[in-house]
Amino acid sequence: MLAITIDVAIVSVALSLVSAVIGLVVTFGHRTDNSPFYLPLLLALAALFLYSPLLTARCGGTPGKLLRGLHVVRLADARNLSYGAALGRHLAHLGMWLVPLISLLDAVSCLWDRPFRQCLHDKPVGSVVVRRSMRPARVTNRAGS
């Protein structure tokens, strides 16, 4: 939940800054049309389809997930998802959020799913969220001991 909160804060701040800059340009530029105000809407739409899927495919997760030590991988081989799979996972997640009872079920389903603890939106694309340690693995050298 904290990872989602971090991601929402990042996107909200970015969109707010863009909106503020556009407001200043319109106000001090004495523009008579409101067309620049469509830019934040277009950026929000782009963020909807690019932020989570693109970062999940390229980096293994959004900044919120990565800061929390979480990584989204393919269940089959623990590799990063393709953009298409990450987009499918994201759209499944968004679709489930449109129906209140299903969104609640999606959020808690990982508590009883065994053995991989997948949420419902992970199942269609075969993904799983794993915890990654931020510390390097401990190496023991017994040859010289």
What is the rounded distance in angstroms from the CA atom of residue 64 to the CA atom of residue 4? Answer: 6
pLDDT, one tens digit per residue, over 25-38 is: 777 777 667 666 77
Q: What pLDDT score was predicted for residue 61?
A: 95
Q: What pLDDT score was predicted for residue 31?
A: 67
What is the rounded distance in angstroms from the CA atom of residue 120 to the CA atom of residue 144? Answer: 49
Q: Going residue by residue through the chain (145 aa), what tens digit of pLDDT does each one get?
A: 788 899 999 999 988 898 888 878 777 777 667 666 777 788 888 888 899 999 999 999 999 999 999 999 999 999 999 999 999 999 999 999 899 899 899 989 989 999 999 999 999 999 999 998 644 444 455 555 4
Instruction: Please give the helix or strand (H or E) that residue 131 lies within, else none.
Output: strand 127-131
Can you read off the two tokens belonging to residue 17? 């800054």
Q: How far from each other are the two terminal CA atoms of the chain, in whole angstroms?
A: 45
Prediction pTM value: 0.77
Q: Is 61 left (phi over 0), alpha (psi -120 to 50) or beta?
A: left
Backbone angles phi, psi at 127, to 5 degrees: -110, 165
CA 91 to each of CA 1, 22, 72, 95, 116: distance values in angstroms, whole numbers, following the listed order: 18, 29, 15, 6, 21
Q: What pLDDT score was predicted for residue 39?
A: 79
CA 87 to each of CA 39, 49, 66, 137: distance values in angstroms, whole numbers, following the listed order: 23, 7, 18, 32
